[in-house]
């Protein structure tokens, strides 16, 4: 999932640069147009006259380019991260009979749909009908190794408004993702600043996402009504950027219970917690490395996780430990620990 979000952020950065270029262009031409007594290059005058001659045509073209590009980056990101989450489940869960029932049900239905749509341009050069059928057989045969048709979960018949995004992730057993995104700490803070409110429950958190889908449709059908200024379009770009990061954080949390149940090592409760961020534990024949993930399960059943930032033995830092005898180590993380938490290790 990390590659999906980094690829999306690269596209967002390119779009920011393009909008900045348009702003600089506007400022430069405006300054030269108002200049008195200064020599203005003939090339710049020619460019200025050409832009003036184009009237509203250039503004409409710039607007259309930004809207279509932003929605395209956003749509591709949602599709790929849906696929990535399905792949992550496939890697973590050892056998198909352990896959959540809702995922199994939707996997069969969506795989059938994918077989019918496989000839569409978006799937050309990708998965074939025979591969979809073979993967489905590996699941239904339940003979051990299985392969989910991850592409099937990226299908959608409508533009990605929030209700469509919610529905798409619910097929993978991730419910009410819009509410979870709105409650993401960093995104919540961003929303409060953006809308100048203290409680995001009082606002339409996802207006920009829904409006972007509407505007993309207008552009696609050549019926654009209202053009937004570039500074307003930049607000849409930044919103999508923050949304994407929040979605990624939510999905990282959603995958944790599966990792705990199927691939994590149980470390138990800490012997002692120092400064709410350092867990003292005793281990034997367990390799722990800086960068591994330490998961804490609270007494209420919630999961919190983060990378191990430091490992100490008797006050000395080590990049890793793997003792063949009982050894007490201290693990420092960047989240709040408590002594009643149950700890799990996910090796990376």
The DSSP string of 238-262 is HHHHHHHHHHHHHHHHHHHHHHHHH
Domain 264-346 -> CATH class: mainly beta
∠ CA 12-214-176, rounded to 5°: 75
Instruction: Please report the pLDDT score of residue 28 as a whole number.
Output: 67
Question: What is the distance between the alpha carbons of residues 335 and 78, in angstroms, rounded to a whole number?
Answer: 28
pTM of the full structure:
0.87
Give the separation between CA 112 and CA 205, rounded to whole angstroms: 35
Phi and psi angles of residue 62, each rounded to the nearest 5 degrees, phi first: -60, -45
* Count of helices and strands (H, E) across the chain: 10, 11
Residues 6 or more apart whose CB falls under 8 angstroms from that of 101 comprise none
Antiparallel, parallel or unpaired: β 278-283 and 320-321:
unpaired
Does residue 330 contact residue 263 with C-beta atoms inside 8 Å?
A: no
Cβ neighbors of 109 (< 8 A, separation 6 or more) are none
What distance in Å separates the CA atoms of residue 307 and residue 346, rounded to the nearest whole number? 9
Work out the mean pLDDT of the chain and round it to a whole number.
Answer: 89
pLDDT score at 24 = 79
Compute the average pLDDT of residues 6-31.
86
- The answer to whether 294 and 343 have CB atoms below 8 angstroms apart is yes
Calculate helix-pair angle for 42-54, 2-33, nearest 10 degrees.
110
100 has pLDDT over 70:
yes
How far does Cα 92 stand from its chain's mean position?
19
In degrees and rounded to multiples of 5, residue 272 shows phi and psi of -155, 145
- The C-alpha atoms of residue 111 and residue 191 are separated, in whole angstroms, by 37
Expressed in angstroms, the distance from the first to the final Cα of the chain is 14
Closest to 147 in 3D by CA, of 197, 100, 105, 86? 86
- Tell me, what's the pLDDT at 262? 94
- All CATH 2.40.30.10 domain ranges in the chain, comma separated: 264-346
pLDDT of res. 159: 93
* Pairwise CA distance, residues 172 & 88, whole Å: 11
- Look at residue 36 and tell me whether its pLDDT is greater than 50: no
Determine the pLDDT at residue 30: 67
Which segments of the chain does DSSP mark as H helices, in order?
A: 2-33, 42-54, 57-92, 101-117, 129-140, 162-170, 177-183, 185-195, 207-220, 230-262
- Answer for the pair 304, 279: CB distance below 8 angstroms, yes or no: no
Q: Is the pLDDT of residue 161 over 60?
A: yes
Centroid of chain to Cα 186: 14
Q: Give 51 or 70, the one with higher predicted confidence.
A: 70
204's CB contacts (< 8 A; 6+ apart) are none
The DSSP 8-state label assigned to residue 335 in this structure reads S
- Torsion region of 312: left, alpha or beta (phi above 0 gives left; psi -120 to 50 gives alpha): beta
- SS3 category, 317: strand
> At CA 163, angle to CA 158 and CA 168, rounded to 5?
70
Residue 53 burial (10 A CB sphere; 0-12, 13-18, 19+): exposed
Per-residue confidence band for 310, with pLDDT thresholds at 50, 70 and 90: very high
pLDDT at 67 > cutoff 50? yes
User: What is the predicted pLDDT for the residue at 225?
Assistant: 72
């Amino acid at each position: 999932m990390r590659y999906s979000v980094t690829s999306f952020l690269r596209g967002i950065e390119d779009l920011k640069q393009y909008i900045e270029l348009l702003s600089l262009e506007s400022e430069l031409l405006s300054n030269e147009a108002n200049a008195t007594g200064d020599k203005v290059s003939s090339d710049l005058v020619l460019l200025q006259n050409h832009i003036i001659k184009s009237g509203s045509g250039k503004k409409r073209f710039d607007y259309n380019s930004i809207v279509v590009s932003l929605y395209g980056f956003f749509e591709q990101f949602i599709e790929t991260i849906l696929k990535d989450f399905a792949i992550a489940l496939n890697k973590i869960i050892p056998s198909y009979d352990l896959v959540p029932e809702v995922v199994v049900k939707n996997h069969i239905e969506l795989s059938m749909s994918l077989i019918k749509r496989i000839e569409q341009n978006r799937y050309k050069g990708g998965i074939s009908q025979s591969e979809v059928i073979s993967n489905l057989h590996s699941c239904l045969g339940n003979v051990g190794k299985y392969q989910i048709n991850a592409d099937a979960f990226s299908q959608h018949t409508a533009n990605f408004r929030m209700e469509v995004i919610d529905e798409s992730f619910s097929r993978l057993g991730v419910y009410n993702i819009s509410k979870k995104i709105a409650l993401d700490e960093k995104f919540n803070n961003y929303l409060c600043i953006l809308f100048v409110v203290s409680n995001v429950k009082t606002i339409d958190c996802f207006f920009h996402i829904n409006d972007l889908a509407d505007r993309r449709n207008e552009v696609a059908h050549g019926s654009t009504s209202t053009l937004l200024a570039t500074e307003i379009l930049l607000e849409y770009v930044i919103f999508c950027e923050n949304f994407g990061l929040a979605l990624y954080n939510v999905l990282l949390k959603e995958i944790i219970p599966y990792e705990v149940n199927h691939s994590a090592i149980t470390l138990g409760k800490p012997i002692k917690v120092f400064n709410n961020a350092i867990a003292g534990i005793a281990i034997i024949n367990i390799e722990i490395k800086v960068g591994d993930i330490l998961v804490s399960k609270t007494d209420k059943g919630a999961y919190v996780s983060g990378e191990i930032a430091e490992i100490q033995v008797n006050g000395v830092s080590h990049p890793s430990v793997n003792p063949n005898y009982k050894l007490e180590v201290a693990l420092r993380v960047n989240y709040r620990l408590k002594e009643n938490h149950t700890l799990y290790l996910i090796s990376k």
